[in-house]
């Protein structure tokens, strides 16, 4: 599976009532499939989420990479990647792609112990989903990047097209966003602008 530099963290709650598959496919089309989509649905039953991901698989452009958050059985059934929250147990078995969220030194060591393919480091800037909570900042991203060594990391939290170069300059492989694409009037254009701020 291709580890593209732009990751969309996708859930139905963030789309403003639009069907999630429609928004995800539009975003993927906006960047010619050069998108990692992490489906993060905390409450949706497995069968319903399976239907959502299957609908995206049928319509997405080639080379789009799909992963699912904290659903090992679903990842294996669909032969897609698995993303683990920071506090999740060590995964069993092998997956098409494996990643973890990390926020501190302990979680970074856990990610390395699990031999992940990538890590998502946050929360870098203040986000609308956590109003009033200051972001950890670029110095934190730099520290986690050093701890993770050669493991590619995505910066998450308050990322927009203007902030992308700052995260990359610190050493982020790419960026992960939710609201910047899901809530955009034109998800394809939003994805295109973000992708255009990343290295080729």
In terms of DSSP bridges, do strands 118-121 and 81-84 run parallel, antiparallel, or are they unpaired? unpaired
CA-nearest of 125, 106, 134, 128 to 175 is 125
Contact yes or no for 151/118 (Cβ under 8 A): yes
CA-nearest of 51, 93, 92, 43 to 69 is 43
pLDDT band at residue 90 using 50, 70 and 90 as cut-offs: confident
Contact yes or no for 72/93 (Cβ under 8 A): yes
Bridge partners, residue 102, by sequence: 121
Q: Phi, psi (5° rounding) for residue 141?
A: -60, -45
Question: Residue 68, exposed/middle/buried by CB under 10 A (0-12, 13-18, 19+)?
Answer: buried
Q: What's the predicted TM-score (pTM) here?
A: 0.95
Per-residue pLDDT at 179 exceeds 90: yes
Residue range 24-35: mean pLDDT, rounded:
98
Per-residue pLDDT at 133 exceeds 80: no
């Amino acid at each position: 599976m291709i580890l593209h530099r732009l990751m969309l963290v996708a859930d139905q709650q963030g789309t403003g009532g639009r069907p999630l598959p429609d928004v995800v496919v539009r975003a993927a089309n906006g960047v010619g499939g050069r998108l990692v989509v992490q489906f993060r649905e905390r409450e949706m039953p497995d069968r319903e989420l399976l239907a959502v991901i299957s609908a995206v698989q049928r319509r997405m452009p080639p080379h789009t990479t799909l992963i699912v958050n904290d659903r090992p059985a679903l990842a294996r059934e669909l032969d897609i990647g698995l993303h683990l929250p920071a506090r999740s147990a060590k995964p069993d078995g092998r997956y098409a792609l494996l990643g973890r969220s990390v926020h501190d030194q302990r979680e970074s060591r856990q990610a390395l112990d699990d031999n992940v393919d990538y890590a998502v480091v946050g929360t870098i800037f203040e986000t609308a989903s956590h109003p009033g909570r200051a972001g950890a900042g670029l110095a934190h991203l730099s520290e986690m990047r050093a701890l993770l060594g050669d493991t590619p990391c995505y910066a998450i939290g308050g990322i927009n097209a203007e902030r992308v170069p700052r995260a990359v300059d610190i050493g982020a492989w790419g960026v992960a966003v939710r609201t910047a694409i899901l809530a955009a009037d034109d998800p394809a254009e939003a994805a295109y602008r973000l992708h255009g701020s990343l290295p080729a």
